[in-house]
A and B are shown apart, each in its own frame.
Chain A
C-alpha cells in the first residue's frame, strides 16, 4: 500500500509532468533513508558512549546483555528492524521499472 502522494511513472505521464517519476521517488527515498541512518547512529553511538565507556567494575545486565548494549544496541537494532520493514513495505513507492522507451536489451532475456 502506498501513500497518496506517491506517483507512479504511468501517473506522472498521465498528468503531463514529464520528469522521471522513478528518479524523483528514489531521490526522496534516498534522503529519507539517510535521515533514518543518522537517527540510529546518534542513538546507538551516543547512548553507548554515555553508558558503555568507563572503568566502573559493576555493569548491570538486562536478559544477560550488558545494560548499555541492551538499551544502546539491542533496542535500537530491534527498532531499526521495525522501521526498515515499515519503510520498505509502506513508504517506498511501488514504481514501474520498465517503460515503453526501454532500449534494446542487447542480449538480455525477455522475462520482464
Chain B
C-alpha cells in the first residue's frame, strides 16, 4: 500500500478533523438509538436482520454502501487516473448491477428466508436441503473468507484516518507516547506508531457501534454513509470541473497528454545542515538535459528528508512529464520549488509498457499501462469484467443477507430503481472526476492511490472551504466502515447462530445468545485488528481474491437452491467446493507461473468466470448423480406440480 502523505495546510487539516469528528459522533449516536429501538424485540432476528423491516431508503442505501467498499474510493480513482477513459468501459457493467444483484435472487430469497425463519445464508441452505453439514461448510467458508477480507479494509481505513489526523495535536501526543512504549517494551517496533493509533481508533469505533447497535445500527450508518458518498462525489465533480474549466476543456487537455516516465530521485546538499531539510511530496523540479538542452520536468510523489548533519536523502518516487504533457493542464511554466542549496540526483526513469509517446492514449482503449505491454483493457478483459461485476455483486453473501431483510416486494422494486440511479451518478461521475484530475493535479502517476485524498484537499483549499476536505475524505472512510460493519455482523451470526445455536446448543437461552454475540463481535474486532497491525503483502490482491471467493462459493449453490427443485445437498456442496477450488487454483497457478501476485487468466478471462462455470457444472452433476430430494421438501419450497 502506498504511503499516504498530506497535501494540505494545517488550517485545512484542522477544519477537516472537526468535520470528521462530527461524523464520528453521529455514527455513535445512531448506534445508541438503534440499541434503544431494539428493546422489546426478539434478539436474534432484530440483531442480525433488523426484523425484516427495511424500507426503500434504508434497503437501497445499505445495499449500495455495503457493495461500495473502500476500493471504490481508493482503487477505482487510482485506475481512472492511471488508465484514463478506458476505465469507463471497465466499470460500465455497473449500469446493470442493481437490476442483477437485487432482481436475480431478491424476491425468492426473501420469501424462502421468511418461510423457513432463516436469518443467515447457511440457515437457508440448511433448511432447503435439510443438511446441517452443508450449513456448517458454508459457515466455515464464510467465517474464513470474511475474516481475511476484513484485514485490508481495516488497514485502508486506518491509513485514511492517519492522513486526516496528520496535523492533529492529540494524535501527535498519542504517537509520542506509543513510540516511547514501543522502545521500552521492544514490541511492534517496526510498526508505524501513527498508523497503530489510527488502527486502534478505527477498530474501537467500528466494534463499539456494530456490537452495541447490531444490524439496525449498521443499516442506519449505511444510510448516513451512502449519503456521504454520493454527496462527496457530486461536490468533487462540480469543484473539479470548475477548476478544470469544464469537461470539454479538461478532456481536450487530457488528449494532449502522453504517459509519463516513472523513476526515483534523491536529494543532496554540499554541506550538512544543522537541521533536517524537508522536501514535500508534489515538489516540481525543472532541469535542462545536458546533451540536448531540452527542458526536463519532474514531480515528486513522496516526501523526502535530508536528516540533520547529513547531506543526502533516501530515494523517492518521482514522475517525469514528457513531450506535450509538460504544457498540459495546470503544469507550472517555471517549476523549480526546491529549497535553497538542495540539488536532485536523477536515477533511471522507465517509460510505460504500453502507450508511451502516444498522444490521446488516455481517451481510448485499451488505455496506457505502466506494466502490461498489451495495455490496460484487452477485449477479453472487457467482456470478462462486464460479466464479473453483476455476478460478483449478486453472489456476495453481504448482499444476500440484505435481500432477506427488505419489507415487501414493492420495497425491492423501488430500491432497484433507486440504486440504479445511485450507482449511475457515483460511478460515471468518478470517471469524469478522475480523468479531469489529470489536468487539475498532473504528475501523480507514481502513487495514484493517493489521488482521492490529495484532490480532496486541493480543491477544498482552492474553493476556500477547508472543512469540506473532512467531508470528502469521510467518503472512502465511510465506504470502508459500511463494508466492515456488515461483514463483522455476518461472521458473528455465522458463529453464534449457525455453528453454536444450530449445532451445539439449540436450547440456548436468549440472554446467553446476546452475550455470545457481543463477545464474538469484540473477539473478531481484536483478531482482525491484530492481523492488520502487520498485514500480509499484496493487500489489493487479498481484497480481490476474497471478494471473488465469496461470490464464487455462494452464487451458484444459492441460485440452484432457490430455482431448481432437483438440486440436492450434494449438488450444492459440490458447486460450493468446486467453484472455490478452481478459483483458488487459478490464483495459486498464477503465483507459481508469474512469480508475483497475479492470477492465471485462461483465455484472458478472470478466474471468477471459470469458477462460476465449474461451480455450475459441478452443481448440476452432483444433483443429477445423487438421490432426488424428498417430495415433501420439494413441495415445501416449490409447491406441488400443477
Contact = CB atoms under 8 A, between A and B. Distances in A.
Q: A and B from one assembly?
A: yes
Interface of A: 16-20, 22-23, 25-27, 29-30, 33-34, 36-37, 40-41, 44-45, 48-49, 52-59, 61, 63-66, 68-69, 72-74, 76-78, 80-81, 83-85, 87-89, 92-99, 101-112
B390 interface: yes
A87 to B, nearest CB: 7
Given A23-B563, A61-B252, A101 B413 contact: no
Given A45-B379, A81-B421, 13 more contacts: A16-B642, A23-B637, A29-B103, A45-B89, A64-B247, A69-B89, A84-B416, A87-B416, A88-B420, A103-B116, A103-B117, A109-B46, A112-B114
A57 B98 CA distance: 36
Contact of A30 (B52, B92, B103): B103
Contact of A59 (B103, B108, B119, B363): B363
Contact of A85 (B420, B637, B638): B420
A85 B95 contact: no
- Interface size on B, as a range, is 35 or more
B412 interface: yes
Contacts of A44: 89, 92-93, 95, 386
Given A22-B108, A48-B365, A102 B114 contact: yes
B384 to A, nearest CB: 10
A74 B418 CA distance: 18
A22 B114 CA distance: 13
A88 B414 contact: yes
A92 B52 CA distance: 20
Nearest to B241: A64
A72 to B, nearest CB: 7
A93 B42 contact: no
Contact of B413 (A16, A57, A72, A92): A92
Given A48-B89, A57-B360, A92-B107, A111 B51 contact: yes
Contacts of B234: none
A92 to B, nearest CB: 5
A98 B365 contact: no
B562 A109 contact: no
B366 interface: yes
B115 A102 contact: yes
A68 B88 CA distance: 11
Contacts of A29: 103, 107
Contacts of A93: 409
Contacts of B408: 97
A94 B409 CA distance: 6
B364 A26 contact: no
Contact of A95 (B53, B252, B409, B414): B409
Interchain residue pairs A-B with the least CB separation, the first 5 = A108-B45, A64-B247, A109-B51, A107-B44, A64-B248
A52 B41 CA distance: 56
A36 B416 CA distance: 14
Contacts of B642: 16-19
B171 interface: no
B420 A84 contact: yes
B364 A97 contact: no
Residue among B45, B105, B107 with the highest chain A CB neighbour number at 10 A: B107
A80 B364 contact: no
B235 interface: no
Interface string B582-608: 000000000000000000000000000
Contacts of A20: 637-639
A108 B44 contact: yes
Given A58-B360, A66-B363, A84-B420, A109 B115 contact: no
Contacts of B387: 41
A90 B247 CA distance: 36
A73 B107 contact: no
Interface in B618-642: 637-642
B44 A106 contact: yes
Contacts of A106: 44-45, 117, 119
Contacts of B365: 48-49, 52-53, 68
Contacts of B95: 40, 44, 76-77, 80-81
B246 interface: yes
A103 B107 CA distance: 18
A40 B159 CA distance: 38
B49 interface: yes
Nearest to B84: A66
19 contacts: A20-B637, A23-B637, A26-B105, A26-B563, A40-B96, A41-B383, A44-B92, A45-B379, A53-B366, A68-B364, A76-B92, A81-B421, A85-B417, A85-B421, A92-B413, A93-B409, A102-B114, A106-B119, A112-B52
B15 interface: no
Most chain B CB within 10 A, of A29, A30, A58, is at A30
Nearest to A15: B642
B115 A54 contact: no
A105 to B, nearest CB: 4
Nearest to A37: B96
B250 interface: yes
Given A41-B93, A88-B413, A101 B46 contact: no
A48 to B, nearest CB: 5
B227 interface: no
Nearest to A53: B365
B251 A33 contact: no
Contacts of A52: 86, 89, 364-365
A9 to B, nearest CB: 9
A55 B383 CA distance: 21
Contact of B639 (A23, A36, A88): A23
B44 A48 contact: no
Contact of B53 (A101, A104, A112): A112
B85 A69 contact: yes
A95 B111 contact: yes
A29 B416 CA distance: 13
Contacts of A99: 115
B424 A81 contact: yes
Nearest to A40: B96
Contacts of A89: 413-414, 417
Contacts of A19: 638-642
B117 A108 contact: yes
Contacts of A107: 42-45, 117, 119, 510
B343 interface: no
Nearest to A44: B92
A64 B119 CA distance: 48
Nearest to A12: B639
B36 interface: no
B79 interface: no
Given A29-B103, A41-B383, A87-B99, A109 B42 contact: yes
A55 B358 CA distance: 8
